[in-house]
Structure 1
Amino acid sequence: MEREQKEEEGESSKRAINIGTMTSLDEILIHMPRLNKFTFSIVSQTVNKYIKIDLPSNDNIQSSFLDRGYNHVGSYADFNSTTNVARCHVYSLPYRFEIFINLNNFFTGGMFNKVRCVFMNDTSSFEHELFALVSQAFPYLEKLYVCNLQAQKNKQHSSTLIVFSHLVKLILSPAHVNYAEQFLFEENTRLPRLIELTIEYETLAIVTNNFTNDAARLNCANLQNIHIVGSFVRPEIGIGGCTFDRPLLGEFYSYENDFATHTSLKENGVIDRRCYRQESGAGATRNDG
């Protein structure tokens, strides 16, 4: 009897993400009986401190939507073994939103021509190949948030040069210094239209060797503003034609507004916004002056 109960608990945790996502969908659609078409992007999160969560496969996730008549669906799921938190992102195709949230290492690619803003976060490192995939999947990307404190495992990047042709705003916080090297060093990535950068001061000082090297000169040539996260001493040497702003979190707060709008049908994004503030608040203070 005890063994059967454990097996039942394990099976229920395996279905938890699917059930949570489908329940959210059903709760929305029940109020729209005359709806002919539904375009969606749903992020669900499952927390279980006592039972290991087994992720369903993409095929299993998508079959749940196929059973309800949604034939063109993209999805991916990830699991954090440290916190025992699992997340799933399911979205209708073609993707109709301008914002793509919670992109992580389980992202499988695709073509997202309408997306202008992407938020990346994970507890495992982002490697060069993932950023190459992102640049191909979001060809008109204008704003990119990279939140990842894990060092890259492969420092020897491939010979493939990554180009973000339309990227104008890059937010690297909280982020390991490797991601500043990934994006700002022209040998790894080209950012021909970058005009605004949000970064932690210590990271910027390390990458530029206290503002003395030229490794980031090309990608920073058009910068107009650098938003520094955390306290800093204003350097005498600038980067490109940019100015150094005082400690600021305006970009992050404006992103949360976008994020809430994007997920308003899923509890107004309360869970994810709370997680994001926890991650971003450690190294910065809001300045309302």
Structure 2
Amino acid sequence: MNAQVLDGRAVAATILDRVRGEVADFVESFDRVPMLATVLVGDDPASHTYVRMKANRCAKVGMRSRQVRLGSDITTDTLVGHLRQLSADPEVDGILLQHPVPGHLDERAAFEAIDPAKDVDGVTRTSFATMSFGEGGFNSATPGGIMALLDAYDIPLAGKHAVVVGRSAILGRPVGMLLLGRDATVTYCHSRTTDLAEHVARADVLVAAVGRPGLIRGGWIKPGAVVVDAGYADNTGDVEYEAAALRASYLTPVPGGVGPMTIATLLAQTIRAAREHEAARRADPELTTTGSGRE
């Protein structure tokens, strides 16, 4: 068996084409340009690259982006203050705190300073709760991108046994909840799970989200399984790609699988947030912008 590639770049391009049209319609309707604000703390080269990529994608779909760069020596209170200012700014529709932040900062406190109405990266407790209960809100961007990728290939999830290897608050845990919401039976595992190979071998759908290259051996994969590799370290995924490709029915490449879907989901949720903000302003005329945002 040779696995079919789950091409995140191609699917993301389709999503971004749709977002570009939605942004154009929004500008025509409301005479302002949606804005995504990104907050970057420190000088990690990879984080700078990610933020630059997101700014470039914003420009390509016609959105504005505002970059807030802060030194690695700031305090949690200072970071929280910047995020609260962006939350209160009527020109900002979405907020992204590039993570991880330096270790001395309380990342959870920073996430919770983001207004859930602008949490287009889906990192707040409110977003996790509303997503888990299927009550709206914003999906965590990478899990939301994974689900969109599976949908693009018409991969059935109801009744399937999904195994998620990873338990982070912004990837492993939320993607499991999204799969559960689609009627999959979900097992959570992680790098310390006993008999990890046995759990993986029972997965109809496997999501690897640890960030430890080669953690998942290709020979563990159930023949015909769908494998989504969301791990990334040193340009390598969590799954032994070549060996897994001989057993899986579908498999994401690394890079080019999950990564592009994360950015596409982020921007799709930003234009949605912009529309919801305008709906709120119509309902409450006191909520007005400070300018058209066309500069």
User: What's the TM-score, normalizing by structure 1?
Assistant: 0.34
More helix by share: 2
Q: For the pair shown, which has the larger CA radius of gyration, 1 or 2?
A: 1
User: What's the TM-score, normalizing by structure 2?
Assistant: 0.34
- Higher RCO, 1 or 2 (CA under 8 Å, sep at least 6)? 2
